[in-house]
Amino acid sequence: MIQGHGGNKQHLADRMGCRLEDIIDMSSNLNPLGPPERIHTFIRENIHLIHALPEPDAAGMSRGFAAYHGIDPGCVIAGNGTTFFIYTLPLALGSKKALILGPAYADYEDACAALNVKTSHCLALAENNFIPDLDQLSAGAGQADLVFICNPNNPTGTLIDKQDLERLIRCHTNTCFVVDESYLPFVPDAEDFSLIKLAHLPNLVVLSSMSKIFRIAGLRTGFLSGAKALIRKLMAHYQPWSVNALAQAVITDIYNHPEEILPFFRQTREFIVKARRAFVHALAETDGIRLFDTPVYFVLARLDRILASQLCRRVGEDRFLIRDCANFKGLSHRFVRFSLKTNEINLALAQSIKTTLAREQD
């Protein structure tokens, strides 16, 4: 489902008859602070790298990631974004039946469908604040050979404790668990939740995205960590030069300066906590909308009297692009998601939402 994502700024710009840069994209989950200036400088000074082929297996950037996390570099693969791995895993592992903890990123199911892998869902419910039922998840995992878990989850933002996940994984040794930690760097104390150091377990792979936290989505970079036996299976389906030369160089440079990484993460986390608090406060007394609690920078909301498509269209008239969540299995045409930006932009969106909902009430 190539169109099943946020970020279609061009469509809204065409509808509004405005420039692409006039659209405020709050539909795609990217760091509101943008990349560190070091990345911009590095790209400007190293654009010549596109003239030559990159390393075929991107081993250099994998070594940097492994060194930073203190794991064996033989347990890491670099890829063209985490979605690259999502589409490769069912094939490489010969999966027959997959379980998806949802509501979740549509590409987990789409990747399985492309390979005729049967899928089922363990759906967390709005009335439980989208906190998953781990007993139900465990029961489903016992009937599958592959399980997808996004932690923290997109689009709900819910986060499962590391100990609970480890217990689940160790309980089902014949099931491979794919834990997608693409949004974990945004969470306070994220290091206490990560499973990367457990990726030696024979039935666990962990996905890590560079695109979101460093806001370099166009470079398409991500990592998979796992036991060496799993890595060998995946490498049998790995295409050479999957990560372009500039992306490899940027990520290698990031990990060549590890002392700058955690301060940037902390700065981002502190910013998000304040921005989210202000946004939630701005909509706290607004009838017709419920915001779900989240530790990340995107916020899921349920609408009571208006459809998601209607809200998207009306705030689009103010040139805000937000995410209609109707195509997430387990949600409906009543759910939208906002990816926060600067406080000024967030409050302007809140005002646009309040105006729209007040108009519906009249």
Question: Which letter does DSSP use for residue 35 in this model?
Answer: S
pLDDT at 7: 60
- The whole-angstrom separation of Cα 266 and Cα 188 is 8
- The whole-angstrom separation of Cα 166 and Cα 162 is 6
Which residue stretches of the chain are H helix? 9-16, 37-45, 59-69, 82-92, 107-114, 134-141, 162-171, 228-235, 245-256, 261-282, 308-316, 343-361
pLDDT at 204: 98
pLDDT at 9: 86
- As to burial, measured by CB atoms within 10 angstroms (0-12 exposed, 13-18 middle, 19+ buried), residue 127 is exposed
From the list 231, 211, 289, 158, the residue with the least C-alpha distance to 35 is 211
pLDDT tens digits in sequence order for the chain, 362 residues long = 444 555 678 889 888 999 989 999 999 889 999 999 999 999 999 999 999 999 999 999 999 999 999 999 999 999 999 999 999 999 999 999 999 999 999 999 999 999 999 999 999 999 999 999 999 999 999 999 999 999 999 999 999 999 999 999 999 999 999 999 999 999 999 999 999 999 999 999 999 999 999 999 999 999 999 999 999 999 999 999 999 999 999 999 999 999 999 999 999 999 999 999 999 999 998 999 999 999 999 999 999 999 999 999 999 999 999 999 999 999 999 999 999 999 999 999 999 999 999 987 65
pLDDT at 2: 45
Q: Which domains occur in the chain, in start order? A: 9-30+262-361 (3.90.1150.10), 49-256 (3.40.640.10)
- The whole-angstrom separation of Cα 338 and Cα 300 is 7
pLDDT at 175: 98
> For tokens 């379980």, what's the residue?
99
pTM: 0.94
From the list 31, 70, 30, the residue with the least C-alpha distance to 266 is 31
How would you classify the pairing of strands 335-339 and 298-303?
antiparallel
pLDDT at 10: 87
- Sequence-separated (6 or more) residues with CB below 8 Å from residue 157: 130, 292, 293, 294, 295, 296, 298, 299, 300
- The whole-angstrom separation of Cα 334 and Cα 316 is 17
- The whole-angstrom separation of Cα 215 and Cα 268 is 11
